[in-house]
Chains A and B, each alone.
Chain A
Amino acid sequence: MEQRLVESTRLPSEASYREVIESGCGYSKLVRRGELLRIVDLEGNQAVDTLFYSASDPSERYSATATIVAQNKLYLSTGSRLVSSEGNVLLTIVADTCGRHDTLGGACAAESNQVRYALDKRHMHSCRDSFLLELALHHPHMTKRDLTSNINFFMNVPVTSDGTLRFADGISGKGRYVELRAETDVLVLISNCPQLNNPCNAYDPTPVEVLIFPARADVHEET
Chain B
Amino acid sequence: MGASNERLAKSTLLVHEQLRGGQMWSRVVRRGQVLTLIDVEGGATPAALFYNARQPLERYNMADTLKAQHTAMLTRGHVLYSDMGRVLMSIVDDGAGWHDTFTGHMDRATSVRKFGEGSYQTLRNDFHRDTRSNFLIELGKHGLGKRDIVPNVNFFTKVAVDADGNLTFVAASAPERHVSLRAEMDVLVVLSNTPHPLDPSPRYAPKPLALTLHEGRPAADDDVCRTSCEQNARGFQLTEDYLLSL
B-contacting residues of A (Cβ < 8 Å)?
Answer: 1-2, 59-60, 63-66, 68-69, 72-75, 85-87, 100, 103-107, 109-112, 114-116, 118-119, 128, 143-150, 158-161, 163-167
Contacts and interface: CB of A to CB of B under 8 A. Distances in A.
B64 A109 contact: yes
Given A59-B146, A115-B231, 4 more contacts: A106-B61, A111-B84, A118-B234, A149-B150
Instruction: Tell me the interface secondary structure of chain A in the complex.
Output: loop
B165 A75 contact: yes
Nearest to A73: B165
B160 interface: yes
A123 to B, nearest CB: 14
Interface in B146-187: 146-152, 160-167
Contact of A68 (B145, B163, B167): B167
B149 A115 contact: no
B62 A112 contact: no
Q: How large is the interface on B (under 10, 10 to 19, 20 to 34, 35 or more residues)?
A: 35 or more
Given A65-B104, A115-B235, A161 B63 contact: no
Nearest to B75: A163
Nearest to B109: A87
B87 to A, nearest CB: 9
Interface of B: 57, 61-64, 66-68, 70-73, 81, 83-86, 98, 102-105, 107, 109-110, 145-152, 160-167, 197-198, 231, 234-235, 237-238
B78 to A, nearest CB: 10
Contacts of B148: 145
Contacts of B165: 73-75, 100, 158-159
Contacts of B71: 163-165
Given A69-B198, A165-B71, A114 B234 contact: yes
Contacts of A72: 166-167, 198
A158 B161 CA distance: 9
B202 to A, nearest CB: 16
A88 B237 CA distance: 41
Contact of A106 (B67, B84, B167): B67
Contact of B163 (A1, A85, A103, A164): A1
Nearest to B162: A161
B119 to A, nearest CB: 19
Contacts of B85: 109-112, 114-115
Nearest to B147: A145
Given A85-B146, A163-B98, A109 B72 contact: no
Given A69-B103, A73-B167, A149-B151, A114 B61 contact: no
A104 B66 contact: yes
Nearest to A69: B197
Contacts of B166: 72-74
Contacts of B145: 59
Contact of B104 (A69, A100, A111): A69
A107 B160 CA distance: 24
Contacts of A167: 67
Nearest to B74: A163
Contacts of B163: 1-2, 158
Contacts of A115: 64, 68, 81, 85, 231, 234-235, 238
Contacts of B161: 74, 159-161, 163
B104 A68 contact: yes
Contact of B67 (A100, A105, A159): A105
A74 B103 CA distance: 9
Contacts of B103: 65, 68-69
A103 B234 CA distance: 25
